[in-house]
Amino acid sequence: MTAFDVEAVRKDFPVLSREVHGHPLVYLDSASSSQKPRQVLEAERIFVEEHYANVHRGVHTLSQEATDGYEAARSTVAAFLGARHEEIVFTKNATEAFNLVAYALGNPGSPVRLGPGDEIAVTEMEHHSNLVPWQMLAERTGATLRWLGLTDDGRLDLSDLDEVVNERTKLFAFTHVSNLLGTENPVDVLVARAKQVGALTFVDGVQSVPHQAVNVPSLGVDFFAFTGHKMLAPSGVGVLWGRDLNALPPFMGGGSMIEVVQMSGSTYAAAPERFEAGTPVISQAVGLAAACDYLTALGMDAIKDHETALTAQLLDGIRALDGVSVLGPDTTELRGSAVSFVVDGVHPHDVGQSLDDLGIAVRVGHHCAAPVCRRFGVPATARASSYLYNNAADIDALLEGIVKVQAFWGVR
- Cβ 162 vs Cβ 189: under 8 Å: no
SS3 of the chain: the string is CCCCCHHHHHHCCHHHHCEECCEECEECECCCCCCCCHHHHHHHHHHHHHCCCCCCCCCCHHHHHHHHHHHHHHHHHHHHHCCCHHHEEEECCHHHHHHHHHHHCCCCCCCCCCCCCCEEEEECCCCHHHCHHHHHHHHHHCCEEEEECECCCCCECHHHHHHHCCCCEEEEEEECECCCCCEECCHHHHHHHHHHHCCEEEEECCCCCCCCCCCCHHHCCCEEEEEHHHCCCCCCCEEEEECCHHHCCCCCCCCCCEEEEECCEEEECCCCHHHCCCCCCHHHHHHHHHHHHHHHHHCHHHHHHHHHHHHHHHHHHHHCCCCEEEECCCCCCCECCEEEEEECCCCHHHHHHHHHHCCEECEEECCCCHHHHHHCCCCCEEEEECCCCCCHHHHHHHHHHHHHHHHHCCCC
Q: Which stretch binds ligand PLP (CB under 6 A): 93-101, 328-336, 351-359, 372-380?
A: 93-101
Q: Rounded to the nearest whole angstrom, what is the least distance from the CB of residue 186 to ligand PLP in the complex? A: 16
Binding to ligand PLP by residue 206, rule CB under 6 A? yes
Considering the complex, state which of residue 247 and residue 258 has its C-beta at the smaller distance from other proteins.
258
Instruction: Determine which one of 112, 298, 368, 403 is catalytic.
Output: 368
Site string for ligand PLP, 284-303 (x = CB under 6 A): --------------------
Q: Rounded to the nearest whole angstrom, what is the least distance from the CB of residue 141 to ligand PLP in the complex? A: 22
Q: Rounded to the nearest whole angstrom, what is the least distance from the CB of residue 357 to ligand PLP in the complex? A: 25
- 204 makes contact, choosing from a copy of itself, ligand PLP, other proteins, none, with CB < 5 to 8 Å by partner type, with ligand PLP
Tell which positions 6-25 bind a copy of itself, by CB under 8 A. 14-15, 18, 20-21, 25
Tell which positions 149-178 bind ligand PLP, by CB under 6 A. 175
Binding to a copy of itself by residue 79, rule CB under 8 A? no
Could you list the residues that contact other proteins (CB under 8 A)?
21-22, 56-59, 63-64, 67-68, 71, 258-261, 269, 347-350, 353-354, 357-358, 364-366, 370, 373, 378-380, 404-405, 407-408, 410
Binding to ligand PLP by residue 130, rule CB under 6 A? yes
- 404 makes contact, choosing from a copy of itself, ligand PLP, other proteins, none, with CB < 5 to 8 Å by partner type, with other proteins
- 259 makes contact, choosing from other proteins, a copy of itself, ligand PLP, none, with CB < 5 to 8 Å by partner type, with other proteins
Considering the complex, state which of residue 53 and residue 302 has its C-beta at the smaller distance from a copy of itself.
53
Q: Which stretch binds ligand PLP (CB under 6 A): 21-29, 91-99, 302-310, 355-363?
A: 91-99
Binding to a copy of itself by residue 163, rule CB under 8 A? no
Among 36, 51, 74, 127, indicate the residue that binds ligand PLP (CB under 6 A): 127
Decide if 292 is catalytic: no
Site string for ligand PLP, 354-383 (x = CB under 6 A): --------------x---------------
Tell which positions 87-116 bind a copy of itself, by CB under 8 A. 91-96, 98-99, 102-103, 107-108
Burial (CB count within 10 angstroms: exposed 0-12, middle 13-18, buried 19+), residue 256: middle
* Nearest to 180, CA basis, from 11, 32, 351, 323: 32
Tell me which residues are annotated as active site.
368
